[in-house]
Amino acid sequence: MKRLFPLLMVVAACGPGVYTRAEVVYAEPADHMYVVPPDRVIVVTREVLVQRGYVVYRVENSGPNRIVWARRGNDEVVRIFVTPERERVLVRSIREVHDRGKHRGWVRRDRAEDVVADIDVRLRAH
In sequence order, the β-bridge partners of residue 62 are 65
Rounded average pLDDT over 24-31: 73
- Quick one: which of 96, 98, 95 has its CA closest to 115? 95
In sequence order, the β-bridge partners of residue 84 are 89
In sequence order, the β-bridge partners of residue 95 are 78, 110
User: The pTM is what?
Assistant: 0.74
Q: Mean pLDDT in the chain? A: 78
Query: What CATH number belongs to 4-125?
Result: 3.30.310
CA-CA distance, 45 to 42, in Å (whole number)? 5
pLDDT(111) > 90: no
CA-CA distance, 2 to 78, in Å (whole number)? 32
Which residues fall within 8 angstroms of residue 37, CB to CB, at 6 or more apart? Answer: 89
Domain range annotation of the chain: 4-125
Least trusted range by pLDDT, from 6-10, 33-37, 77-81: 6-10
Q: What is the pLDDT of residues 39-79, one digit of tens each?
A: 999 999 999 999 999 999 999 998 889 999 999 888 888 88
Are the beta carbons of 106 and 19 closer than 8 angstroms? yes
